[in-house]
Structure 1
Amino acid sequence: MALRPVRLHQALSRTVHTITLPDPDGPAVWAVETRTTEDHRARLYRDGQRTSTAEMPATFTVPGGRIEVDAGLYGVTRVHLVTPDGRERRLAPAPGTLEHRRAALTRDRPRTSRAIAVTAVVILLVNLVLATPVWLEMVTSIPEVADRVGTFTSPVLLPGWLLGTLMVAGVAAAVERAVTWRHHRIVDAETLWTSL
């Protein structure tokens, strides 16, 4: 099966990353495709033709090493060539992907890119502060947990429209962090709550 270009309507659900590697018959372009909303599989292509498919986390053997692939709820978390000596090289996002568009924004408009990145962190931190008490109330409302540790009532009471807005903003911020390959244990802990 042939690899198709990534269309605009697929930007949030499909990624393709590529790398050119030497081969006895000449350089070959290897591509890894993931479709996070359809299945949890990675597909490997050589010069546009599918060669294999694997469940993620996936490892594909290629000339000069192996390609390791994994994805989370908000996008690809790993797509690297690992050489036999342990060196790693991330594959490049293919044109049309959200990652490629975001990298172009960073290159062409660095100030706008930084402003978007900072805004995403602020949104995730605000959501983390607001979500923690709500999450604790949810967990302690489970009878088995309440019997052991008691219940907790969240002091945070937000109107439904604000909760919805924060959830949408949190998802957008999480996608922003994923496509720019940024991750921090505390900042990105909030992405767990937006997935509930």
Structure 2
Amino acid sequence: MFTKYRRRWQLSKAKPGDGSPLQRYRLWQLLSRSLFALELADPSGHRQIFEVDVRHLRDSSSSKRPAALYRDGVQTHQGNLPVAFPVPGGVIEVATTQYGVKRMHYIGDDGHEQVLRPDPRSLEGRRARFDRRYPRTSAVIGAVGLVVLLMGLAVSLSLATEHITRIEVVAQHLGTFTSPIRLPAWANIALPIAGALAATDRALRLKSTWMAD
């Protein structure tokens, strides 16, 4: 039921496009733009290329929407994130976090899910190419990143619990808690940076988690 209403809400955010042509991906857009593609057939069997262009520096207050759908290079829809774009046989769900793209999936009417293909010139495309060429190294990077995120989560929860139990009312009923984790000054700086890099890497592989958010 929740999924149904969420889909309906996201579809309502998809507005008609302006018919403009899709701009070529440029090298200087690596940090500000994501581009994904998917080939689908229309009811007559004609193959069409659908592309989703996400501009990370735009938001709902921008004159142009942060996400746009293109069919064979022509803009058909645009919308604020998160959004679902209607396409033949289903929808394309698009969502982002502060670290990058969180969701770029085609959801068929039968429930089948498929991740769109990143543009090879984009950061997501370069990360996917690295994963294909060096699968073991990529897996190690991913594992290390997950450990970093878990460490950051443990530290954050421990310190948050300590601060909450210092509140007089809470302390009277539950007692106080002293965090056993005490990081040196350099680690307090390094851990958030490492966490941001790990979250970015997971976003580039479209494997963002609630820990990264």
TM-score scaled to structure 2, two decimals?
0.73
Partner of 1:19: helix, strand, or coil?
strand
Q: Map of 1:79-158 to 2, 5 A cutoff?
A: 79-140=104-165, 152-158=177-183
| CA distance in structure 1 between the aligned counterparts of 2:151 and 2:74, rounded to whole angstroms | 45
Long gaps (5+) in structure 1 = none
In the other structure, the counterpart of 1:72 is 97
Label 1:141 to 1:72 Cα distance change in 2 as closer, same or farther (>3 A).
Answer: farther
Label 1:126 to 1:2 Cα distance change in 2 as closer, same or farther (>3 A).
Answer: same
2:212 is equivalent to residue 191 of structure 1: yes
| CA distance in structure 1 between the aligned counterparts of 2:143 and 2:203, rounded to whole angstroms | 14
Deviation at 1:151? 5.6
Contact 1:75 1:175 in 2 (8 A): yes
| CA distance in structure 1 between the aligned counterparts of 2:96 and 2:197, rounded to whole angstroms | 17
| CA distance in structure 2 between the aligned counterparts of 1:101 and 1:135, rounded to whole angstroms | 37
- Which 10-residue stretch deviates more, 1-10 or 54-63? 1-10
| CA distance in structure 1 between the aligned counterparts of 2:86 and 2:192, rounded to whole angstroms | 39
Give the partner amino acid of 2:212. T
Give the partner amino acid of 1:74. Y
| CA distance in structure 1 between the aligned counterparts of 2:56 and 2:167, rounded to whole angstroms | 31
Long gaps (5+) in structure 2 = 1-19, 61-65
| CA distance in structure 2 between the aligned counterparts of 1:81 and 1:159, rounded to whole angstroms | 45
The share of aligned pairs that are identical, in percent, is 40
Label 1:53 to 1:148 Cα distance change in 2 as closer, same or farther (>3 A).
Answer: farther
TM-score scaled to structure 1, two decimals?
0.79
Aligned residues: 188
| CA distance in structure 1 between the aligned counterparts of 2:97 and 2:52, rounded to whole angstroms | 15
| CA distance in structure 2 between the aligned counterparts of 1:70 and 1:2, rounded to whole angstroms | 23
Of the three residues 188, 195, 198, the one matched with 1:170 is: 195
Label 1:30 to 1:145 Cα distance change in 2 as closer, same or farther (>3 A).
Answer: farther
